[in-house]
Structure 1
Amino acid sequence: MNFYPSFGGNLSKGEQIAYTKSANFKNGKFVNIKDVPKELRFSETLALARKFFFTKVPNGKPLRNIEVEKIDSLSIADYKGNTRLIWFGHSAFLLQINDKNILIDPMFGKVAAPHNWLGGNRFNTEMPIEIEKLPKIDAIIISHDHYDHLDYGSIKRLKEKVNLFYVPLGVGIHLEAWGVERKRIQEMDWWQETKFEELQLVCTPAQHFSGRKFNAGQSTLWSSWVIQSTTESIFFSGDSGYEVHFKEIGDKYGPFDFAMLECGQYNAMWPDIHMFPEETVQAAVDLKANLMMPIHWGAFKLALHDWTDPVHRVINKAEELNVNIITPKIGEEIKLYKKKTPKWWENYN
Structure 2
Amino acid sequence: MSLKAQFGASLRKKDVEKFKASLTWKNNKFHNLSPTLMGFSLGNLPEMLKDNFSIRQIRMPKKALPIKPFAPDQFHNDDRKPKFVWYGHSVLLLQLAGKNILIDPMFGDDASPIAPIKTKRFSDSTMDIIDTLPQIDAILITHDHYDHLDLNSIKKLIPLVDQWFVALGVARHLSKWGLNESHITELDWWDQVDFNGIQMTYTPSRHFAGRGAFDRAQSLWGGFVFQTADHTIYHSGDGGYDDHFKEIGDKYGPFDLMFVECGQYYKHWPQIHLFPEQSIQAGLDAKAKVLVPIHWGGFALAPHHWKDPIQRFVQAAKEHGQAIFTPSLGAIWTLDDLGTPNNWWENHD
Aligned residue pair count: 347
Displacement, 1:49?
6.8
SS in structure 2 opposite 1:247?
helix
Aligned to 1:290: 289
Displacement, 1:68?
1.8
Alignment partners' CA distance in 2, 1:116 and 1:109: 15
1:24 and 2:24 aligned: yes
Q: How does 1:80-119 map to 2 (within 5 A)?
A: 80-81=78-79, 82-115=81-114, 118-119=117-118
Identity %: 41
Alignment partners' CA distance in 2, 1:343 and 1:38: 33
SS in structure 2 opposite 1:280?
helix
Q: What amino acid is aligned across from residue 108 of structure 1 in structure 2?
A: F
Kindly provide the CA deviation profile for residues 176-202 of structure 1, in whole angstroms up to 9, marking residues without a partner as x: 111111111001111111111211000
Displacement, 1:14?
3.0
Aligned to 2:168: 169
Displacement, 1:115?
4.8
Q: What amino acid is aligned across from residue 344 of structure 2 in structure 1?
A: W
Residues 38, 272 of structure 2: 8 Å contact kept: no
SS in structure 1 opposite 2:146?
coil
Displacement, 1:16?
1.2
Aligned to 1:147: 146
Displacement, 1:56?
3.4
Q: What amino acid is aligned across from residue 155 of structure 2 in structure 1?
A: K
Q: What amino acid is aligned across from residue 345 of structure 1 in structure 2?
A: W
Displacement, 1:116?
8.2
Unaligned runs of 5+ in 1: none
Alignment partners' CA distance in 1, 2:2 and 2:20: 25
Alignment partners' CA distance in 1, 2:50 and 2:144: 24
Aligned to 1:131: 130
Alignment partners' CA distance in 2, 1:267 and 1:104: 25
Q: TM-score, normalised by structure 1?
A: 0.93
Displacement, 1:50?
4.2
SS in structure 2 opposite 1:215?
coil
Displacement, 1:75?
4.4
Displacement, 1:156?
0.5
Kindly provide the CA deviation profile for residues 126-153 of structure 1, in whole angstroms up to 9, marking residues without a partner as x: 4496212323211011110001111111
Alignment partners' CA distance in 2, 1:10 and 1:133: 33
Aligned to 2:185: 186
Kindly provide the CA deviation profile for residues 293-347 of structure 1, in whole angstroms up to 9, marking residues without a partner as x: 1110011100001111111111111111111101111011221242323211112
Residues 328, 341 of structure 1: 8 Å contact kept: no
Q: TM-score, normalised by structure 2?
A: 0.93
SS in structure 1 opposite 2:248?
helix
Farther-moved stretch of structure 1 (109-118 vs 141-150) = 109-118
SS in structure 1 opposite 2:17?
helix
Aligned to 1:7: 7
SS in structure 1 opposite 2:155?
helix
Q: What amino acid is aligned across from residue 29 of structure 2 in structure 1?
A: K
Residue 306 to residue 13, structure 1, CA distance change in 2 (3 Å): same
Farther-moved stretch of structure 1 (197-206 vs 58-67) = 58-67
Residues 205, 245 of structure 1: 8 Å contact kept: yes
Alignment partners' CA distance in 1, 2:127 and 2:21: 42
C-alpha RMSD of matched pairs (Å): 2.2
